[in-house]
């Protein structure tokens, strides 16, 4: 199970900060870079964690931290899907937003082979992990990585995110597998089909070499994709660390809106990253979410 978060309660109120830079990632996605120094000391953020973003006068919404490692600076990458995200997209450099966090647990890197599966805007959560793992592979300090493979999926080539950052992170592009629904870039098909093929190949190759080395799958994306990723990992007896989304109000375990059925585990506090053991027990996984009144709706 990924590590339990340790919330710094000094970070539980929105810190108003100006947008420093905005990058248009594709027609529907923008990255916003802000300074974040609410307590005037470095704030530790880990790949997979999220912040609550307040758009004054509109709403406060959860967003993964998409870029980590700049002093006092962080980024979120936002798909415009509704009121708050569309309002965020209309903001300009110099406009202010509120940030609180980071919240939640984080991906826990393991030895062996790492396979990262990112679907659509889910790439925002796994991008800092790819960076961390590739750096660790080049210069091991904490764990022994045999290989780091990333499978990114989107509808078409123009929807694929972070192509430049990924090219910078990976000197060797063979470790990157792009999948598009229409075949406009890379493999024509879903990330999950690619994952199934890669796992089968890797496990057969290990058998042929008469060795077993651990494989861990890290994933974020639409829940239908995550459910399939989980089922494939169960089939091959491989650990998965999947980042789930639920409606969130508080972001740190107070309101109960993001509880999973039937365990009551909170996506904001016990997650957002869960492994096989919890996913096996979660009856709403891949089936339904709750709206802001707590009423379930099918996904
Ligand atoms: C931990 C976490 C990390 C996230 N990271 C990102 C990210 O990096 N980039 C990004 O673009 N989005 C991310 N999201 C989803 C984002 O929070 C929602 O898209 C956003 O809250 C929608 O707000 P809205 O007012 O624009 O849309 P609304 O008008 O509220 O809703 C539009 C659609 O989004 C769905 N939605 C609304 N709120 C949520 C929510 N909290 N979780 C899931 N679906 C929701 C609604 O069901 C509806 O289908 C994340 C969500 C969570 C829980
Ligand atoms: S969002 Fe309030 S408990 Fe998770």
Domain CATH code at residue 48: 2.40.30.10
- What is the residue-averaged pLDDT of the chain? 94
Residues 173 and 208 in one domain: yes
CA of 267 to the centre of ligand 2 (A): 7
Q: Which whole-number Å values give the CA distances from 15 to 11, 63, 76, 120, in the listed order? A: 8, 15, 15, 28
Residues 232 and 117 in one domain: yes
> pLDDT tens across 122-167, in order?
999 999 999 999 999 888 898 899 999 999 999 999 999 999 888 8
* Boundary residue ending a domain (103, 128, 154): 103
CA of 82 to the centre of ligand 2 (A): 20
Residues 82 and 19 in one domain: yes
Parent domain of 192: 112-243
Residues 180 and 159 in one domain: yes
Residues 200 and 94 in one domain: no
Mean pLDDT, residues 81-102 taken together? 97
- Closest approach atom of ligand 2 to CA 251: 1
Mean pLDDT, residues 37-59 taken together? 94
Domain contains 1 = no
* Boundary residue ending a domain (204, 225, 243): 243
Residues 116 and 200 in one domain: yes
- Predicted pLDDT at 10: 84
Residues 121 and 209 in one domain: yes
Residue 16: half-sphere exposure toward Cβ, Cα within 13 Å: 4
- Predicted pLDDT at 181: 96
CA of 204 to the centre of ligand 1 (A): 39
Residues 185 and 145 in one domain: yes
User: Cα separation of 83 and 62, whole Å?
Assistant: 14
- pLDDT band per the 50, 70, 90 thresholds, residue 173: low
CA of 21 to the centre of ligand 2 (A): 30
Residues with CB under 6 A from ligand 2: 248-251, 253-258, 266, 268
Residues 30 and 143 in one domain: no
Residues 152 and 176 in one domain: yes
Contact call for residues 133 and 124 (beta carbons, < 8 A): no
121 in ligand 1 pocket by Cβ < 6 Å?
yes
User: Cα separation of 74 and 65, whole Å?
Assistant: 7
Q: How many domains does the chain have?
A: 2
User: Cα separation of 107 and 157, whole Å?
Assistant: 27
Our mutation pick for probing the ligand 2 site, out of 12, 52, 61, 268, counting the most ligand atoms within 8 A of Cβ, is 268
pLDDT at 23 over 80: yes
* Boundary residue ending a domain (194, 225, 243): 243
Domain CATH code at residue 172: 3.40.50.80
Residues 90 and 187 in one domain: no
Contact call for residues 299 and 288 (beta carbons, < 8 A): yes
> pLDDT tens across 186-210, in order?
999 999 999 999 999 999 999 999 9
Return the residue matching tokens 């470790």. 175
Domain contains 287 = no
């Amino acid at each position: 199970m990924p590590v339990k978060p340790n919330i710094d309660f000094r970070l539980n109120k929105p810190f108003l900060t100006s947008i420093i830079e905005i990058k248009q990632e594709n027609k529907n996605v923008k990255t916003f870079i802000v300074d974040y120094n609410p307590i005037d000391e470095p704030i530790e953020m880990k790949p997979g964690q999220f912040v609550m973003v307040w758009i004054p006068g509109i709403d406060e919404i959860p967003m993964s931290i998409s870029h980590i490692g700049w002093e006092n600076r962080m980024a979120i990458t936002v798909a415009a899907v509704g009121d708050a995200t569309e309002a965020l997209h209309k903001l300009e450099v110099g406009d202010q937003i509120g940030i609180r966090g980071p919240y939640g647990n984080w991906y826990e890197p393991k030895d062996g082979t790492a396979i990262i599966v990112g679907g659509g805007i889910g790439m925002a959560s796994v991008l800092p992990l790819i960076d961390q793992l590739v750096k660790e592979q080049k210069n091991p300090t904490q764990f022994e990585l045999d290989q780091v493979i990333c499978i990114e999926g989107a509808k078409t080539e123009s929807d694929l995110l972070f192509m430049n950052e990924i090219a910078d992170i990976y000197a060797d592009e063979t470790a990157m597998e792009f999948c598009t629904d229409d075949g406009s870039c890379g493999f024509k098909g879903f990330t999950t089909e690619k994952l199934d093929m890669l796992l089968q190949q890797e496990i057969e190759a290990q058998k042929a070499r008469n060795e077993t080395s651990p494989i861990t799958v890290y994933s974020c994306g639409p829940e239908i994709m995550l459910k399939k990723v989980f089922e494939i990992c169960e089939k091959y007896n491989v650990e998965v660390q999947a980042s789930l989304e639920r409606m969130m109000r508080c972001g740190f375990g107070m309101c109960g809106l993001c509880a999973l059925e039937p365990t009551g585990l909170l996506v904001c506090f016990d997650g957002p990253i869960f492994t096989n053991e919890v996913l096996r027990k979660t009856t709403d996984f891949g089936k339904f979410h709750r709206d802001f009144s707590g009423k379930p709706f099918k996904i």
